Amino acid sequence: DVQMTQSPSTLSASVGDRVTITCRASQTISGWLAWYQQKPGKAPTLLIYKASTLESGVPSRFSGSGFGTEFTLTISSLQPDDSATYYCQQYNVYPRTFGLGTKVEIK
Amino acid sequence: QVQLLESGPGLVKPSETLSLTCAVSGDSINNYYWSWIRQPPGKGLEWIGYIYYTGSTNYSPSLKSRVTFSVDTLENQFSLKLTSVTAADSGVYFCARHTFGDPLRVWGQGTLVTVSS
C-alpha cells in the first residue's frame, strides 16, 4: 500500500495567516492526489484534486501543489470557517490511502 | 443533485455481521463507482473498497477476507457486509461516489456503528 504521511498533525494559526500542510507519499503517485476538509460530525468534502485543481465552489484561498511524492495544501489567508481537519488521499493505485490528517485550529 | 444516505443498525455484537446500505437518490447508480470508507472515533479515514454498478469489486487487502459488497441497480442502492466484527470495527461508515480516475467527490453523511455486547 502507498503510505501517506501528513505534517504537521495539528497547527494553530491566526485569522489572516498563511498556512501550509505537507503530504508525502511512500512512492510516486504522479499528480493523483486529493485534499479533503472535514468538520466535526460531518463527511469530508473535496477541496482539491489532481494535486492542484480546485473543486468547484471551493474558495480561491485554498491551493495545492506538488507532483510525484511531495504535495502541499496552502490556505493563503486563514478564515474562521477553515477550522477543520484536512486529509490528503492518493488515488493513483488501489487501495486508495489517506494521510492521518492535519487539524487546523484558529488562535 | 445526487444524495447518498447510509442506513443500518447502530449497534452490532462482537463476532456478528455488520450490514449497511447506501441509498442513492437524484441520479442513477449506473456508470459510477461506489466506495465505502470508515472512520474510527477520533481517528482518520480508511478506504474499505468499491463496487462498480456492474458488480465488480475491489477491496482493501486489510479487510478483504471479511467484507462483501453488493449492488441493486433496480433499487438504486448498494450494500456492505462485514463479518466477524470486533470493537476495532466501530466507527462512522461513509459511502461515496466516484468515477474510475477521480477522487471521492460525493459523500453520504455517514452512519455510526458501535460494536459492543
C-alpha separations of B58 from A39, A79, B48, B67 in Å: 28, 39, 9, 10
Is the Cβ pair B103, A34 closer than 8 Å? yes
Q: Which tens digits make up the pLDDT trace of B12-63?
A: 999 999 999 999 999 999 999 999 999 999 999 999 999 999 999 999 999 9
Distance from CA of A78 to the nearest CA of B (A): 23
Number of H helices, E strands in chain A: 0, 11
- Give the β-pairing of B111-115 and B11-12: parallel
pLDDT tops 90 at residue B101: no
Q: Which three cell numbers stand for residue A53?
A: 485543481
Q: Show Cβ contacts of residue B31 under 8 Å, excluding neighbours closer than 6 positions.
A: B53
Q: Check residue B100 and give its pLDDT.
A: 87
Is the Cβ pair B94, A43 closer than 8 Å? yes
Residues in chain A: 107
Task: Measure CA A41 to chain center.
Answer: 18
